Chain A
Amino acid sequence: MSDRRSLMLSAAGMLLALTTTVAAQDYPTKPVRLIIPFPPGGSNDVVGRLIATQLSERLGKQVVVDNRGGAGGTIGTEIASGTTPDGYTLLVISIAHAVGPALYPIKYDPIKSFTPVSILATGPNVLAVNPKVPVNSVKELVELAKKKPGELFYASAGVGSFQHLSGELFKLMAGVNVVHVPFKGGGPSMIDVIAGNSQYVLSSLIQTTPHIKSGKLKALGTSGTKRSPVLPDVPTIAEGGVHGYEATNWWGIVAPAGTPPAIVAKLHKELAAVQDSPEIQKQFATQGASTVKMSSEEFAKFIGQELAKWGRVVKDANIRP
């Protein structure tokens, strides 16, 4: 009896040892949960759902989207940090992941709690002014702001939003004093600039381009290091006179810390294939974003750099006193 039990135990032990190595080859054997730490509708949700659909096809198992919004993405991120690192829980992160720790009380470590899998895409903002503002370039806007310190306004989607942070970085680097007017969401902030109450906004290409084309807003510069293919005639803000300026949103996938390297490698490979699909390329292009490839290690380093950069902006701009 006891022999039989020990035999069974050792067999179970062997099976367990086997499963960890086999797991990676067989992975996935059940649906994978993809946590999006934002409610449905925003850019994180759009990106996450696009990827989930395509990844499901490649993995042969359903990738189930689980929206866990709230507190600038930190609630969903915290949930993901506490899950079993077996590759069956993944998390969509974006620039908010690099900003959240400086703004919210968090119970996870933005680096140590996660295993980076893959970056997906990056997308710049565009600095757009109301056409009645008498400036035609970033340089002229900076000059105007210097002439009228504290008299110009820029609208943003809210405190701690990417629009806000890229705006504060702009103020810091250009050395200007412009009053920040926060709204609740990117729609209202853009309406405010079109109505002429605020002078400019730094908002995503997908939201802003139609209004630039219809002449309700004037584009002065894009926030990436290179010009955007969506607006090839618009210089970058760095070209326009604020040297070294860069504020680019990005989206990527991470897993909880301790996820087996073999599974991470498999996911990285499949995500790379998803990135190459024409459907995804087209969808990102309409969002004004483009796919980017990095190894998992490079992505880890990138997250660290972004955390340092935006943490400094939050501090220097005195966003959280």
Chain B
Amino acid sequence: MDLFDNLLFGFGVAFSLQNLIYCFIGVLLGTLIGVLPGIGPLATIAMLLPLTFNVGPVAALIMLAGIYYGAQYGGSTTAILVNLPGETSAVVTCIDGHQMARQGRAGPALAIAAIGSFFAGTVGTLLIALFGPPLAEMALKFASPEYFSLMLMGLVAAAVLAQGDMVKSLAMVVLGLLLGIVGSDVNTGIPRFSFGMAELTDGIGFIVIAVGVFAVGEIVTNLGEPTERRFLTAKIATLFPTREDLRRSLWPILRGTGIGAFFGVLPGTGPAIASFSSYMVEKKLAADPSRFGRGAIEGVAGPESANNADAQCKFIPMLTLGLPASGVMALMLGALTIQGIQPGPQVMTQKPDLFWGLVASMWIGNLMLVVLNLPLIGVWVRLLKVPYRLLFPAIMAFSAIGIYSVNNSPFEIYLTAAFGILGFLWIKLGFSPAPLLLGFVLGPMMEENLRRAMLTSHGNAAVFVTRPLSLAFIVATVLILLVMIAPAVRRRRDAITD
């Protein structure tokens, strides 16, 4: 019972008063920055890093980790309530979460997001404790061909994101890919579509597009409606999920956790991919996919679990191999080094208090977040009763502050406004923005990995089918395509035989 002993030891470390306090400060701060779009855990941790020099390494890391996963919780709150994605990963939650809020079901949406996240966090913590090192070693098997094939599969599966018109959805995916091309070419550094503007040489920020098309676009649309038809009704049916809600959410939470853990372990996948994938899976598996986009609770439960599992599992390569899977993890490594700890596989044996203390604190932190968030639901939901004429300027102001804080760049605020106008037009013309964002997320990563794979294979495209893992993803992609095309083919054949 090594694991049991180790976890018990970890809880002993995490339950010291000092560590509990730092954990609480971390998750609280994380929740707050999660609510605000733009300012994310990366910037917050970078700014707080010097403050942690004087507390011990265990407490420092517990607090920084708390900020990180706290932000994942907070990000969903504004997504559900006001269609404002507080964090990158919360974009998917906007789709159905906000629709639930419009139907007076903000309470259940928030509750299921918290419950799903907690479950995923628990599983993530266990995965780190049980299988950390082998999982991390496995992730190293992924090189550029594997990443490309995996993302190709994701992009093909994106067709299920389509709501209504398939052609319009594909057009949005392609537009997303094109927007993703803006910025420096990865292999040569030459700026593309930057029109000589220095601000565009690093590309367009994801949060700029997300806040523009979701939050701002939504506000403009709402203001165009007659006052009495604006969504913020007083009819808030229930605060907590019904038995039916829980039943519907059970499998999505389990599947979302699995999907999130998978992507979390892989260092080369950014945020949002896990939640997008989970959403696509749930929509594909649903008995009635048409409910999605209209307030399906599965569309909140799955992606929210996926994104928390992803966030939690990003710790695996960091803690077990000393490899950063994301910018936040690179900062945590920096924090460890500053504390005089050499990150790497030896941390587990040489600094068991740090490793097991952190693992235990993650679970405690997740518990704190649930305890913090469930009672807050009532408060949040009451926020919806604020008259819209007061609420919408507040959302706009918070969006602007958040966007500005990313790079202290006024340019990005103008860009958000421009995407707000586009978002409004898209809503009016019946184009859903989710496929655009997926294309925007996947496009640059696919391109990067495709070009890198071609570079390292000396231009031999066979590399995608000669490497077994990559081949597996290509085969899966073809299968998905067949499954999607089959019904259409069958319909046509039926039409002919008729």
Contact = CB atoms under 8 A, between A and B. Distances in A.
B334 interface: yes
A319 B188 CA distance: 7
B46 A195 contact: no
Interface in A133-191: 150, 153, 158-160, 179, 181-188, 190-191
Nearest to B448: A184
B50 A50 contact: yes
A321 B42 CA distance: 34
B409 A182 contact: no
Interface string A188-216: 10111011011000000011011101101
Interface residues of A, number: 55
Contacts of A71: 198-199, 201-202
B143 interface: yes
Interface stretch (A41-49, A233-241, A263-271): A41-49
Interface in A262-304: 283, 286
Contacts of B340: 286
Nearest to B51: A53
B448 A45 contact: no
Contact of A74 (B47, B141, B198): B198
B198 A197 contact: no
Contacts of A153: 456
B202 A159 contact: no
Interface in B84-120: none
A235 to B, nearest CB: 22
B46 A214 contact: no
A214 B347 CA distance: 11
A45 B50 CA distance: 11
Contacts of B43: 39-41, 67
Interface in B309-361: 317, 321-327, 329-331, 333-334, 337-338, 340, 342-346
A319 B189 contact: yes
Contact of A70 (B46, B344, B409): B409
Interface string B197-240: 01101100000000000000000000000000000000000000
A182 B187 contact: yes
B456 A70 contact: no
B45 to A, nearest CB: 8
A206 B189 contact: no
Nearest to B329: A187
Contact of B201 (A53, A104, A213): A104
Contacts of A78: 198
A232 interface: no
B201 A159 contact: no
Contact of A68 (B184, B268, B409, B458): B409
Interface in B37-67: 42-43, 45-47, 49-50
A75 interface: yes
Given A105-B198, A185-B330, A214-B344, A159 B184 contact: yes
Contacts of A191: 140, 267, 317, 323-324
Contacts, number: 134
Interface centre among A68, A191, A197 (most CB of B within 10 A): A191
Nearest to A159: B189
A280 to B, nearest CB: 12
A152 B358 CA distance: 40
Contacts of B156: none
A69 interface: yes
Nearest to A187: B324
A89 to B, nearest CB: 14
Interface in B280-332: 317, 321-327, 329-331
A68 B407 contact: yes
A97 to B, nearest CB: 15
B182 to A, nearest CB: 13
B186 A159 contact: yes
Contacts of A206: 334, 337
B144 interface: yes
Interface in B373-410: 406-409
Interface centre among B46, B268, B317 (most CB of A within 10 A): B46
A187 B407 contact: no
A58 B407 CA distance: 28
27 contacts: A40-B47, A41-B331, A66-B408, A67-B408, A68-B408, A70-B409, A71-B198, A71-B199, A104-B201, A105-B196, A105-B198, A159-B186, A160-B189, A185-B327, A188-B267, A190-B323, A191-B323, A194-B140, A197-B456, A210-B343, A210-B344, A213-B344, A214-B322, A286-B337, A286-B340, A319-B189, A320-B189
Interface of B: 42-43, 45-47, 49-50, 140-141, 143-144, 184-190, 196, 198-199, 201-202, 267-268, 317, 321-327, 329-331, 333-334, 337-338, 340, 342-346, 406-409, 448, 452, 455-456, 458
Interface of A: 39-41, 45-46, 49-50, 53, 66-72, 74-75, 78, 103-105, 150, 153, 158-160, 179, 181-188, 190-192, 194-195, 197-198, 206-207, 209-211, 213-214, 216, 283, 286, 319-321
Given A39-B407, A184-B448, A191-B317, 11 more contacts: A39-B43, A68-B407, A68-B408, A70-B198, A104-B198, A159-B188, A160-B189, A184-B186, A187-B329, A213-B344, A214-B345
